[in-house]
Amino acid sequence: MTNARKPRAAVTSASGGLDRLKHWVAGSAILLGGAIWAGQALGEAHEEVTVSHGYTNFGELMYGPDAVLDYVNPDAPKGGEIAVWAQGTFDSFNLSTRKGVAAALSTIGYESILTTTADDPYGAYCYLCTTIEYPESRDWVIFNLRDDVTFWDGTTMDAEDIKFTFELYLEQGITEYREVYSRFIDNVEVLDDYKIRFTFTEDAPRRDVVSWVGGTSAFSKDWFEETETRLDESSTEPFMATGAYQLESADFGRQIIYAKNPDWWGADLPMNTGRNNFDRVRVEYFADSSAAFEGFKSGAYTFRNENSSIQWATGYDFPAVQNGWVTVAELPDGSIGTGQGFVFNLNRERWQDPQVRDAINLMVNFEWMNESLFYGIYARPESFWDNSDLKAVGTPSDGELAILQPLVDEGLLPDSILTDEARMPYVSETSDRPLDRANLRRASAMLEEAGWLPGEDGVRRKDGQTLDLVFLQFSPQFDRIVNPIIENLQRLGVNARLERVDTSQFVERSRAGDFDIMNGSLGQDYEPGRQLSQFFGSEAADDSSRNPMRLKSPAVDRIIDVIVGAETLEDLTTSTQALDRVLRAEGFWIPQWQKDVHTVAYYNSLQHPEDMPPLALGEIDFWWYDADRAAELEAAGAFQ
């Protein structure tokens, strides 16, 4: 299945693809159907300026001004509560620092200038603005901000707050962000109280620039200055923002409650119709998934997105399900795959040898796992753009070859990348037992060729050093998956073991690069751009939370530049396919598992639209609370 849309008639284009990890908050937007001359608006000669309520690089925007989203229930009642769970603990509400462990949903109340929807993969829509203005060159963009946006404390948001927030990220944001983006901005000007202009450098990627600055959140400048809060330090409360939900209470390590702001400025926006329906969002913390599942069974929280195949297959027969209090459902998921897998730390010398990585890879028997551990509910990831046209398939197309050939000629890629089919995960011929002996023999030959020879004790050594491999994990749920892999590796002569640490240690060690192999989710978006440098680029590899494998590849860097420069959907698709092909050939990633549905369970006090959008589950965004059903559940004793 693919959600990629082909371009329609040519329109003035602009960049969509905002960060879809943010909660889905949308504003009204559409091209206004006309352009004005920049000479008329800004005193600059002969450059046509588009004035618009929305922005897309490709085709047309899905929604017009004052539109209600297609997938919401416009009559959804307001009120009640949704309760979810999180694992481990937390000591901060700041996701923008390496310090501390951020709380679940810590950005729930943050809103940005532009936003996206759950059904338009390329569109970006005005939210904190009414319109945007930009020339064909994309040398600058002006946002005409709304004059009715207020922070939680009742003060008005204006252009100075946007300028302050943007510059705060460039000054105090995480290193990988500052290193990639700081060179792309030339100037930020407050033109009046509700008008702000961003001017870009010559090197700034023109397809990215509007969505980049349009993704700026709105934080209160006065609040930051009064509290002396820093973006690069942990914070025991969220930053002063504008969103529907704000922190009501926090019992650190146990519970968080976010409550609807009764004076929220955006309640009556047409594109907020049927959204932000709950009065409260509660997060219950548990030490591990097993404890959390027991809590769900007793009604300690009301919504669970199940990620354990064994629990999904065997666990949902408890009394609350039998009594009809809990709905168990598979809801469609049309988004790009998560790219979930084990990733090697390429900063460690032994994992820099692709033969050694491949040998380890061969010891992961997905076919046995899926049949014996996962009850056949998973497929294996094949690409960083699964479920889209951006995925590389077969041998390279002519367009891909035009990108790859110069890199081969310069010795940056092997000749085989031009003729081989896109790399697929290793397949085991034996699904009835964990160890595939044929793959064991292949892996053994690879290690011997790489100089890792077995000693009398069966452990492989090179230059007197044993071949050690430690799986860094924080969830006990992975023990049953990792331990059979470890046994296979030990049969190969690898001194493998599992090290399970608590959540805070895991976060700290992964940030510091203190691991051999760990879990990573590297799935991407429908409109890749300069953010790829944070995931796969060399310049921020040693200090990037999004590039856990520390990949440094001149060929990858060059292809990212081609993607950033792509001006048509066809060029973007072709160059992304080339990147996907090269990334998979690098072999730093051992694909794990994925599914194309959301496996969810929820108490029937919660309801969702019948026709779900493809790009978001949206349980906090556009689900709602049924007070009558909740009262029935309460009377029946569903919640203990």
| Position 59 confidence tier, pLDDT thresholds 50, 70, 90 | confident
Whether residue 459 has pLDDT greater than 80: yes
Average pLDDT along the chain: 91
Whether residue 41 has pLDDT greater than 50: no
Question: CA distances (Å), 224 to each of 92, 128, 149, 159, 526, in order?
Answer: 16, 20, 18, 15, 35
Report the pLDDT value the prediction gives residue 19, as an integer from 0 to 100.
37
Q: Quick check: 461 and 467 in contact, CB under 8 A?
A: yes
Q: What are phi and psi of 442, to 5 degrees?
A: -60, -45
Report the pLDDT value the prediction gives residue 223, as an integer from 0 to 100.
98
Whether residue 546 has pLDDT greater than 50: yes
Whether residue 3 has pLDDT greater than 60: no
Mean local confidence (pLDDT), 454-460: 95
DSSP element (H, E) containing 271: none
Whether residue 15 has pLDDT greater than 70: no
Mean local confidence (pLDDT), 205-209: 92
Residues 6+ apart with CB under 8 A from 193: 147, 158, 159, 160
Whether residue 36 has pLDDT greater than 60: no
Highest mean pLDDT among 91-95, 163-167, 207-211, 374-378: 163-167
Measured in whole angstroms, how far is the alpha carbon of residue 290 from the centre of its chain? 25
Task: Give the Cβ contact number of residue 320 at 10 Å.
Answer: 22
Quote the DSSP letter at residue 206: T
Report the pLDDT value the prediction gives residue 98, as an integer from 0 to 100.
81
Whether residue 17 has pLDDT greater than 70: no
Q: Quick check: 460 and 494 in contact, CB under 8 A?
A: yes
Report the pLDDT value the prediction gives residue 4, as an integer from 0 to 100.
35
Exposed e or buried b per residue across 452-468, where buried means at least 16 C-beta atoms within 10 angstroms of its C-beta: beeeeeeebbeeeeebe
Whether residue 384 has pLDDT greater than 70: yes
Each residue of 245-303: pLDDT tens digit?
999 999 998 999 999 999 999 999 999 999 999 999 999 999 988 999 999 999 999 99
Long-range contacts, 35-39 (Cβ 8 Å, 24+): 38/135
Weakest-pLDDT range from 104-118, 497-511, 562-576, 609-623: 497-511
Q: pLDDT higher for 182 or 16?
A: 182
Measured in whole angstroms, how far is the alpha carbon of residue 155 from the centre of its chain? 32
Closest CA to 275 of 627, 636, 619: 619
Each residue of 549-584: pLDDT tens digit?
999 999 999 999 999 999 999 999 999 999 999 999
**Rounded to an integer, what distance in angstroms lies between the CA atom of residue 447 and that of residue 484?**
20
Q: How many residues does the chain have?
A: 640
Each residue of 391-412: pLDDT tens digit?
999 999 999 999 999 999 999 9
Mean local confidence (pLDDT), 219-244: 96
Compute the C-alpha angle 606/615/238, nearest 5°: 70
Each residue of 102-156: pLDDT tens digit?
999 999 999 999 999 999 999 999 999 999 999 999 999 999 999 999 999 999 9
Domains of the chain: 31-227 (3.40.190.10), 340-591 (3.10.105.10)
Dihedral angle computed from the Cα positions of residues 418, 420, 422 and 428, in that order, rounded to the nearest 10 degrees? -160
| Position 504 confidence tier, pLDDT thresholds 50, 70, 90 | confident
